Amino acid sequence: MQLINDKKNGKPVGRALATATCALLGVQATTAMAKDQPGEWDVETALLVYSETDDRVQAAEPVISATRNFDGDKKLNLKLVADTLTGASPSGATPSDLVQTFTRPSGIGNYTVEAGEAPLDDSFKDTRVAVSGSWTAPLNRDYTYSVGAYGSREYDYISTAVNGSLTRYLNNKNTTLTGGLSLGMDLIDPVGGAPIGLSRMALRANNTEAQFDQEFAATRESDDTKTLVDALFGVTQVINRRTLMQFNYGVSYSSGYLTDPYKILSVIDEAAGANYGGNLIGADGNPIYLYEERPDTRMKHSLYWQTKYMLENGDVMDGSYRFMVDDWGITSHTIDLKYRWRLSNSYLEPHFRYYMQSEADFYKRYLTESEYNGGVPTVSEASADYRLGELTGMTFGAKWGYRLDEDRELAIRAEYMIQSNDGDEGFGKLTNHDLYPDTNAMWLQLSYNF
Partner 1 sequence: MSFSNWFTRRRLRQAATLLTISATLAAAGCSNLGVKPWERDLLAEPDMQLTVSGVDAGLDDHIYFSKEASSGGRGFGGGGCGCN
Pick the piece of the chain touching partner 1 (CB under 8 A) from 104-112, 208-216, 269-277, 303-311: 303-311
* Residues 385 to 414 in contact with partner 1, rule: CB under 8 A: 387-388, 391, 393, 399, 413
Smallest gap, in angstroms, from Cβ of residue 402 to partner 1?
14
Give the residue with the Cβ less far from partner 1, 20 or 271. Answer: 20
- Candidate residues 78, 196, 238, 394; the one interacting with partner 1 per rule CB under 8 A: 238
* Residues 311 to 350 in contact with partner 1, rule: CB under 8 A: 316, 318, 320, 322-332, 334, 340, 342, 347
By the rule CB under 8 A, 292 interacts with partner 1: no
Site string for partner 1, 343-382 (x = CB under 8 A): ----x-------x-x--xx---------------------
By the rule CB under 8 A, 186 interacts with partner 1: yes
Pick the piece of the chain touching partner 1 (CB under 8 A) from 97-105, 193-201, 222-230, 373-381: 222-230
**CA–CA separation, 347 and 97 (whole Å):** 52
Q: Give the total of residues touching partner 1 (CB under 8 A).
A: 112
Give the residue with the Cβ less far from partner 1, 276 or 304. Answer: 304
Smallest gap, in angstroms, from Cβ of residue 101 to partner 1?
25
By the rule CB under 8 A, 66 interacts with partner 1: no
Smallest gap, in angstroms, from Cβ of residue 318 to partner 1?
8
* Residues 149 to 168 in contact with partner 1, rule: CB under 8 A: 150, 152, 154, 156-157, 159, 161, 163
By the rule CB under 8 A, 310 interacts with partner 1: yes
Q: How many residues does the chain have?
A: 450
Q: At 151, phi and psi to the nearest 5? A: -150, 135
Beta carbons within 10 angstroms of residue 79's beta carbon: 17
**CA–CA separation, 68 and 37 (whole Å):** 9
Site string for partner 1, 91-110 (x = CB under 8 A): --------------------
By the rule CB under 8 A, 75 interacts with partner 1: no
* Residues 116 to 135 in contact with partner 1, rule: CB under 8 A: 126, 128, 130
- Candidate residues 88, 113, 202, 232; the one interacting with partner 1 per rule CB under 8 A: 232
